Amino acid sequence: MIWCSRDLAGRRGAFGALLLTFFAGGIARLISRAIVGPPSDLFPFLGSLELILPPTFCCWSERLHERSNL
């Protein structure tokens, strides 16, 4: 993520792939919770970060890309 963030315009594909990977981890936590049951206290916090931050960063990245193309 740090490597991608240093040049978002040139590394948009890698940045998007990483965001998708983190988001998929959050979905996997939800599926695991539905099948196995509630995890320890730390995992809901981490899962919420995995579900909230990637879409937020994706929107932020798109806005930066739009501004750089003006």
Instruction: Identify residue 52 by its one-letter amino acid code.
Output: I
What was the pLDDT predicted at 70? 61
**CA dihedral in degrees (55, 56, 57, 61; nearest 10)?**
100
DSSP per position, 44-58: HHHHHHHHHHHHHHH
Number of C-beta neighbours around residue 15 at 10 A: 20
Read off the pTM: 0.76
The string of pLDDT tens digits covering residues 11-58 is 889 999 999 999 999 999 889 889 998 888 888 888 889 999 999 988
